[in-house]
């Protein structure tokens, strides 16, 4: 290639956006080679510095040492998740062990760790700011947990374990995406009977995208869930459901069951090398929960009322099944269909009647409006080159000051992994010069003209935008603790808290307007929608808790030789209702096996929910969901602080105390369940 590699120099586009239009797949490999070489040289210089260690020449220097690598990685890993190509996936497989090896080189460098240990020993005499003291503590903890204190054969084995885990996590994610790409079901015109127009339109769009002559059903959640809700064809529901839950367990090259077993064994070995009894104890040590026992206590306090509610609902749904003349028990592919029918009967609520008022455009405007009213943020559309035609961009400002660039990549496509997430192309920091973030929300909504969202979709949009605000409002000096760089069981607080504003009548009255007429959602429909907010929470809570408890069991004690057998044993012991599956069965449990992020940590959504329910109650107590003083405290103590303070300190700073579980049970409508 004769053209300069656009990844090898600081980006010169407005607001530091990557030059997407100039980047080709062939640029990434040489850019990583050069970035790794530069990072190694910078880290080596810090470790070999003859001057006595100071915060500036060690910690602050490390903050900037990997700048070129951060720049290249920020582009590549966002693209390989949201818009994979064969070349990108091949490079990802190659990079996984190389980047893991580089991480070990840094965090297990004896000279570098000696400098950090020296600073830690003298920390009280260094005159550090509160943020610098926190950053030093987190760096030291990271090095120790990476194996910096190991030596000899133990150190070499730790490096090998981490490299192998990186390879396996990448393989797990790519296998799952391959299974999701491969499966689809052609739908004849007769198969569309009983489906609402929005679902038919989405199926036709999916068929066109895959080059099929007619509509298709894919494993995209935004398609398959409404199909399970609305299709009267039990045979098709069963076929679709079985394909959905079989992802990662279809045999052959993409089967993830053996990978999961090896991952669990290696995690256990990693924890033992560091002196922990098991991986759950190791992983939870720095989290708010602190121990597996604390996690299990919370989950089981919610399990009993959730299962009681789900079992009561199952009796009602089974009666409806039998009234239709169908023999046999209620099956997992029946639950959503009969629950939707029951909801329509009990609440006079039809999702097909709701969706015209929940267009993607309207719900995005609602999320922006709430951010403006709470935090004074303004959003201006940007016309700039981006990485895919689906992606849109906005400049975020406050009182004329540039705060961030926000990107939204909303629609499902075969090149995108499933789910929804927030990420950054670059994070916020002040050291080395003020840098504002470039933030992206990635979702998998069904296409349509216009795109119409379900209530769950709208909540997902608000959830991911809550994560985005955590990055957009970040105001720290050191990027190591910016934005979402917080404890795993604290990171979901801003996102889950933001969902509450979607349910405000005032927000819906302003933004839930019919996409064709502009008329607001009728008050009666709005009230029925909100009255049904806790509908099917027995099901939703049980399927989530089943996954969280299986995850915890996988990582407590010695690892199972057969994870599928352990999964079955845990579910049997819990008494999981027959017609409710785990939300994420082991072979497609990407949260836990596609990386370490949520391993022994899937519980964190509920841990954070305890806080988000209590946090929103603060606004309810003052009678104003947009109370400016509370909003300012929320920003100051939580959203802008990132990981610069301990999560307990951040929450108490906002609320004045730690929360209890009652607000969570009340919010899920489970407090009175037997």
Question: What values do phi and psi take at 440, rounded to 5?
Answer: -135, 135
For residue 418, the SS3 value is: coil
**From the CB of residue 315, how many other CB atoms can be counted at a distance below 10 Å?**
9
C-alpha span between 591 and 488 (Å, rounded):
12
Which of 85, 65, 68 has the alpha carbon at shortest distance from 34?
Answer: 68
Residue 432's region, left for phi above 0, alpha for psi from -120 to 50, else beta, is left
Is the separation of the CB atoms in 446 and 205 below 8 Å? Answer: yes
List, in order, residues 6 or more apart from 213 with CB less than 8 Å away: 207
Helix 110-121 with 130-146: angle, nearest 10 deg: 140
Q: Which residues, in sequence order, are bridge partners of residue 401?
A: 398
C-alpha span between 531 and 503 (Å, rounded):
10
C-alpha span between 61 and 42 (Å, rounded):
9
C-alpha span between 637 and 655 (Å, rounded):
9
C-alpha span between 344 and 324 (Å, rounded):
17
List, in order, residues 6 or more apart from 490 with CB less than 8 Å away: 288, 604, 608, 611, 647, 650, 651
For residue 401, the SS3 value is: strand
- Alpha carbon separation from 553 to 253, 562, 593 (Å, rounded): 27, 13, 14
CA triple 631-634-637, angle to 5 deg: 145
Q: Which residues, in sequence order, are bridge partners of residue 382?
A: 393
Which of 394, 418, 245, 272 has the alpha carbon at shortest distance from 333?
Answer: 245
Diameter over CA atoms, the chain: 83
- Alpha carbon separation from 318 to 313, 323, 331, 339 (Å, rounded): 9, 9, 9, 10
- Tokens at residue 129, please? 């700011």
C-alpha span between 653 and 618 (Å, rounded):
13
Please identify which of the residues 66, 180, 287, 464 carries the catalytic annotation. Answer: 464
Is the separation of the CB atoms in 525 and 354 below 8 Å? Answer: yes
List, in order, residues 6 or more apart from 77 with CB less than 8 Å away: 92, 423
C-alpha span between 24 and 6 (Å, rounded):
9
Report how far apart the first and last C-alpha atoms of the chain are (Å, whole number).
Answer: 68
How far is C-alpha 103 from the chain's CA centre? 23
CA triple 434-435-440, angle to 5 deg: 160
Omega of the bond prior to 450 within 30 degrees of 0, cis?
Answer: yes
C-alpha span between 389 and 415 (Å, rounded):
13
Q: Has 131 been annotated as catalytic?
A: no
- Tokens at residue 307, please? 């299962």
Helix 234-245 with 221-230: angle, nearest 10 deg: 150
C-alpha span between 633 and 622 (Å, rounded):
14
List, in order, residues 6 or more apart from 367 with CB less than 8 Å away: 461, 462, 465, 498
The residues annotated with a catalytic role in the active site are: 464
């Amino acid at each position: 290639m004769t053209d300069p590699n656009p990844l090898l120099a600081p980006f010169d586009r407005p607001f530091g956006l990557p030059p997407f239009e100039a980047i080709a797949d062939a640029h990434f490999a040489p850019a990583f080679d050069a970035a790794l070489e530069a990072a190694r040289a910078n880290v080596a210089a810090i470790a070999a510095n003859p001057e006595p260690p100071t915060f500036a020449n060690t910690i602050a220097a490390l903050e900037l040492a990997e700048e070129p690598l951060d720049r290249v990685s920020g582009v590549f890993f966002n693209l390989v998740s949201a818009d994979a190509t064969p070349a990108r996936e091949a490079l990802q497989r190659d990079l996984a062990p190389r980047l893991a090896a580089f991480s070990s080189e840094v965090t297990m460098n004896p000279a570098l760790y000696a400098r950090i240990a020296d600073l830690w020993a003298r920390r009280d005499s260094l005159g550090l700011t509160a943020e610098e003291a926190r950053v030093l503590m987190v760096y030291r903890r990271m090095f120790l947990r990476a194996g910096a204190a190991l030596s000899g054969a133990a150190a070499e084995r730790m490096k090998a374990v981490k490299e192998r885990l990186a390879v396996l996590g990448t393989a797990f994610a790519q296998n799952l995406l391959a299974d999701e790409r491969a499966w689809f079901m052609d739908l004849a015109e007769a198969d569309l009977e009983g489906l609402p127009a929005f679902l038919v339109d989405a199926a036709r769009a999916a068929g066109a995208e895959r080059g099929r002559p007619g509509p298709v059903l894919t494993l995209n959640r935004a398609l398959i869930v409404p199909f399970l809700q609305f299709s009267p064809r039990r045979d098709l529901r069963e076929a679709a459901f079985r394909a959905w839950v079989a992802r990662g367990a279809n045999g052959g090259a993409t089967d993830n069951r053996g990978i999961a077993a090896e991952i669990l064994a290696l995690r256990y070995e990693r924890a033992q090398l560091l002196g922990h009894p098991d991986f759950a104890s190791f992983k939870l040590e720095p989290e708010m929960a602190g121990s597996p026992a604390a996690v299990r206590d919370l989950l089981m306090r919610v399990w009993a009322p959730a299962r009681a509610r789900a079992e009561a609902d199952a009796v009602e749904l089974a009666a409806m099944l039998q009234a239709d003349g169908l023999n046999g028990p209620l099956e997992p592919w029946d639950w959503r269909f009969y629950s939707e029918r029951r909801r329509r009967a009990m609440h006079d609520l039809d999702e097909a009647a709701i969706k015209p008022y929940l267009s993607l455009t309207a719900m995005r405007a609602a999320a922006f409006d709430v951010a403006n009213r709470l935090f004074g943020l303004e959003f201006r559309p940007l016309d700039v080159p981006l990485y895919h035609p689906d992606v849109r961009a906005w400049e975020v400002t406050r009182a004329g000051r540039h705060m961030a660039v926000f990107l939204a990549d909303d629609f499902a496509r075969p090149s995108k992994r499933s789910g929804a997430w927030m990420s950054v192309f670059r994070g916020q920091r002040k050291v080395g010069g003020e840098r504002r973030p470039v933030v992206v929300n990635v979702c998998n909504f069904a296409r349509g003209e216009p795109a119409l969202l379900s209530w769950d979709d709208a909540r997902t949009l608000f959830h991911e935008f809550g994560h985005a605000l955590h990055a957009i409002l970040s105001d720290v000096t050191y990027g190591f603790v910016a934005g979402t760089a917080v404890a795993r069981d604290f990171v979901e607080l801003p996102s889950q808290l933001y969902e509450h504003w979607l349910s405000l009548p005032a927000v819906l009255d302003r933004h839930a307007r019919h996409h064709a007429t502009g008329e607001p959602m009728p008050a009666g429909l709005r009230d029925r929608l909100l009255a049904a907010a806790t509908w099917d929470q027995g099901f939703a809570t049980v399927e989530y808790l089943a996954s969280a408890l299986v995850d915890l069991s996988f990582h407590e004690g010695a690892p199972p030789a057969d994870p599928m057998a352990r999964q079955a044993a845990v579910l049997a012991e819990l008494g999981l209702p027959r017609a409710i599956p785990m939300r994420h069965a082991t072979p497609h449990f990407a949260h836990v096996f596609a990386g370490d992020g949520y391993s022994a940590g899937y519980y964190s959504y509920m841990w954070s929910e305890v806080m988000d329910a209590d946090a929103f109650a603060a606004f309810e107590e003052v009678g104003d969901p947009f109370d400016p003083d509370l909003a300012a405290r929320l920003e100051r103590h939580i959203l802008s602080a990132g990981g610069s303070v301990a999560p307990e300190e951040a929450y108490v700073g906002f609320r004045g105390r730690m929360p209890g579980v009652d607000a969570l049970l009340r919010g899920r409508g489970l407090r009175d369940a037997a």
